[in-house]
Amino acid sequence: MANHKSALKRIRSNNKKRLLNRFQHKTARNTIKKLRETTNKKEAKKLLPVVISLIDKLAKKNIIHANKSANLKSKLTKHVTTL
């Protein structure tokens, strides 16, 4: 266990950030899954900008890698256009 006051604070802040990152990542994954399961092209086109926005936010905060976000956006866009 940490002995310094700053180390204790760091543990608390790291835990808060970890929980927030997990929540945001899980939310994005759920919307991606929802988009992939969609068979209606109109609905998918409506959902695509929302998903791309979430992916960009995750990449900006370094929750996911920038290349992973690019790959996800590319694949999802391709999926929507082929519907």
Of 9, 8, 12, 18, nearest to 63 (Cα)?
18
According to the model, what pLDDT value does residue 1 have? 74
pTM of the model: 0.83
pLDDT, residue 3, reads 85
| Mean pLDDT along residues 31-58 | 94
27-83 is classed in which CATH architecture? Answer: Up-down Bundle (1.20)
pLDDT over threshold 90, residue 2: no
C-alpha pair distances (Å), 48 with each of 4, 58, 68, 81, 82: 47, 15, 17, 11, 13
pLDDT reported for residue 8: 93
